[in-house]
């Protein structure tokens, strides 16, 4: 009876498990980037992002206060304080005064200093230095400690990458460069394809069927096959090294799918509405602008999602058509590749930049995803 209409298949559980696995596989790296973007470099280096809510054991290099704060009392000179910065803390497990032996002492034990005097460190970071003679020097005593540091989340990574004018990553400029490329490269093909789709769907003219077949054929043309000829054409007319060239390139590569998607949707609109408008004296332009275009919003939004994602995440077209040695037109994908080479050890910077690069497409997708299925299924049911 599993094949009877209206009954649930016995393999439904397998479909649900497979969908859950796919969601988790996609979610893990995204959540990892988000969590890592709010962590410090030391935390990222010592523990995985899944341990971010818990204390992590780190090897720290701390320093006592400078000798100028020492106090003379009971015939001795003392310096007291806490090794951790204000607002931060931790629990010291072992400590030492030499980098060669950072686990020489336990909390509460006393170490003899090389320049004279003693140092006692407690588990919470409190310390006391004492010496019969005054401490000398301009800097405090270095203390090497292994401590369990509580979790810390900060916005400093975002401030450094996008707001600090002194940073050398260039991600803020790359972010606006990417918007400059993506928004026109999404709007232009939609405007052009909407007019073409209406003509192929509702206007009678010779060779219309051949044009539809040509559009379908262009869907299978590899992008890489047209890059060099298109770049040569752009260089010949003088637009091969700027935004205009990359806008037209993305428009050309996205146009076949846009026309195909919108044409299928417009063909499925009720013929009676179109004919009634023409009987009332409406021109094709009026029918398109006032009737067909508003009714085709799901298909327009569906293509806008795809085109925005493709353009935002594009690297190949940007490398070919945005030739700029100064970096003034560098997009985020190219900047991330450069950061992998120059700042490969600064995972907090890479995580912050990478998460911002995927956050914008995610926001666009979730804002318009309700139109995605309706647009993709355009023309599938009559």
Residues 177-212: tens digit of each pLDDT: 999 999 999 999 999 999 999 998 888 888 888 988
For residue 173, give both structure tokens.
């400029």
For residue 143, give both structure tokens.
């203390």
Q: Which residues pair with 129 in a beta bridge?
A: 79, 119
246 shares its domain with 363:
yes
Pairing of strands 91-96, 56-63: unpaired
CA distance 238 to 127: 70
47 shares its domain with 60:
no
Whole-Å CA distances, 42 to 34, 59, 91, 136 = 17, 9, 16, 31
Q: How many domains is the chain partitioned into structurally?
A: 3
Q: What is the pLDDT of residue 1?
A: 44
What backbone torsions phi and psi does residue 76 show, to the nearest 5 degrees? -135, 160
CA distance 135 to 240: 68
Q: What angle do CA 211, 215, 221 make, to 5 degrees?
A: 140
46 shares its domain with 184:
no
| 341 located within any domain | yes
pLDDT value at 375 more than 60? no
Domain termination residue (choose one: 149, 169, 193):
149
pLDDT value at 344 more than 60? no
317 shares its domain with 181:
yes
| 249 located within any domain | yes
Q: What is the pLDDT of residue 105?
A: 93
| 100 located within any domain | yes
140 shares its domain with 32:
no
95 shares its domain with 213:
no
CA distance 334 to 317: 11
Q: What is the pTM (predicted TM-score) of this model?
A: 0.75
pLDDT value at 33 more than 70? yes
Q: What is the pLDDT of residues 115-157, one digit of tens each?
A: 888 999 999 999 999 998 888 888 889 999 998 888 888 888 8
Q: What is the pLDDT of residue 345?
A: 64
Which CATH number goes with the domain that contains 313?
A: 1.10.3720.10
Helix (H) or strand (E) holding 287: helix 284-287
Please list, residue by residue across 169-195, b when 16 or more beta carbons sit within 10 angstroms of its beta carbon and e when fewer do: bbbebbbebbeebbebbbebbbeebbe
pLDDT value at 323 more than 60? yes
Residue 376, classed as helix, strand or coil, is helix
Helix (H) or strand (E) holding 180: helix 171-202
Domain that holds residue 19: 12-51
CA distance 117 to 115: 7
Whole-Å CA distances, 355 to 37, 155, 171, 247, 367 = 7, 13, 12, 25, 18
Pairing of strands 71-73, 76-82: antiparallel
- Please list, in sequence order, all residues whose beta carbon lies within 8 angstroms of the beta carbon of residue 189, skipping any fewer than 6 positions away: 250, 251, 254, 255, 258, 303, 307
Q: What is the pLDDT of residue 41?
A: 82
198 shares its domain with 259:
yes
232 shares its domain with 255:
yes
Q: What percent of the chain has pLDDT over 70?
A: 91
170 shares its domain with 266:
yes
| 298 located within any domain | yes
Domain termination residue (choose one: 149, 183, 208):
149
What backbone torsions phi and psi does residue 6 show, to the nearest 5 degrees? 95, -10
Residue 346, classed as helix, strand or coil, is coil
Q: Which residues pair with 78 in a beta bridge?
A: 71, 130
343 shares its domain with 213:
yes
Mean pLDDT of the chain: 84
Domain termination residue (choose one: 149, 168, 189):
149
21 shares its domain with 138:
no
Confidence of residue 87 (pLDDT cuts 50, 70, 90): confident
pLDDT value at 377 more than 60? no
69 shares its domain with 45:
no
CB 185 within 8 A of CB 244: no
| 332 located within any domain | yes
| 335 located within any domain | yes
Which residue is associated with the tokens 């890592």? Answer: 36
Q: What is the pLDDT of residue 382?
A: 45
| 117 located within any domain | yes
Find, among 75, 74, 81, 66, the residue nearest to 135 by Cα. 66
Find, among 348, 361, 360, the residue nearest to 169 by Cα. 348
Q: What is the pLDDT of residues 217-265, one digit of tens each?
A: 888 888 888 888 888 888 888 887 788 889 999 998 999 989 988 888 8
| 3 located within any domain | no
Cα-Cα-Cα-Cα torsion 43, 171, 341, 350, nearest 10 degrees, comes to 20
């Amino acid at each position: 009876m599993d094949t009877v209409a209206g009954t649930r298949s016995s393999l439904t559980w397998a479909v649900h498990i497979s969908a859950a696995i796919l969601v988790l596989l996609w979610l893990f790296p995204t959540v990892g980037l988000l969590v890592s973007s709010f962590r410090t470099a030391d935390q990222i280096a010592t523990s995985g992002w899944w341990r971010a809510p818990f204390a992590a054991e780190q090897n720290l290099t701390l320093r006592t206060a400078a000798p100028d704060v020492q106090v003379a009392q009971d015939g001795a000179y003392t310096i007291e304080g806490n090794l951790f910065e204000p607002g931060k803390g931790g629990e010291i497990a072992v400590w030492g005064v030499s980098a060669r032996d950072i686990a020489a002492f336990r909390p509460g034990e006393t170490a003899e200093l090389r320049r004279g005097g003693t140092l006692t460190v407690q588990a919470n970071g409190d310390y006391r230095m004492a010496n019969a003679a005054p401490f000398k020097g301009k800097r405090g005593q270095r203390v090497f400690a292994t401590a369990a540091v509580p979790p810390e989340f900060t916005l400093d990574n975002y401030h450094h990458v996008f707001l600090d004018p002194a940073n050398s990553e260039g991600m803020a400029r790359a972010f606006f460069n990417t918007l400059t490329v993506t928004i026109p490269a999404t709007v232009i093909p939609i405007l052009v394809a909407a007019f073409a789709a209406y003509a192929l769907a509702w206007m009678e003219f010779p060779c219309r069927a051949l044009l539809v077949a040509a559009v379908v054929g262009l869907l299978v043309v590899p992008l890489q096959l047209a890059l060099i000829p298109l770049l040569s054409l752009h260089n010949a007319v003088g637009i091969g090294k700027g935004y205009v060239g990359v806008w037209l390139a993305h428009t050309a590569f996205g146009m076949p799918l846009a026309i195909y998607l919108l044409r299928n949707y417009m063909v499925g609109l009720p013929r009676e509405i179109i004919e009634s408008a023409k009987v009332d004296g409406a021109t094709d332009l009026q029918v398109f602008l006032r009737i067909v275009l508003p009714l085709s919003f799901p298909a327009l939004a569906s293509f806008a999602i795809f085109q925005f994602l493709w353009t935002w995440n594009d690297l190949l077209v940007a490398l070919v058509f945005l030739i700029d040695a100064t970096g003034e037109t560098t997009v985020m994908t190219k900047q991330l590749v450069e950061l992998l080479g120059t700042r490969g050890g600064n995972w907090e910077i890479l995580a912050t930049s990478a998460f911002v690069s995927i956050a914008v497409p995610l926001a666009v997708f979730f804002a318009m995803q309700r139109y995605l299925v309706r647009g993709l299924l355009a023309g599938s049911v009559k």
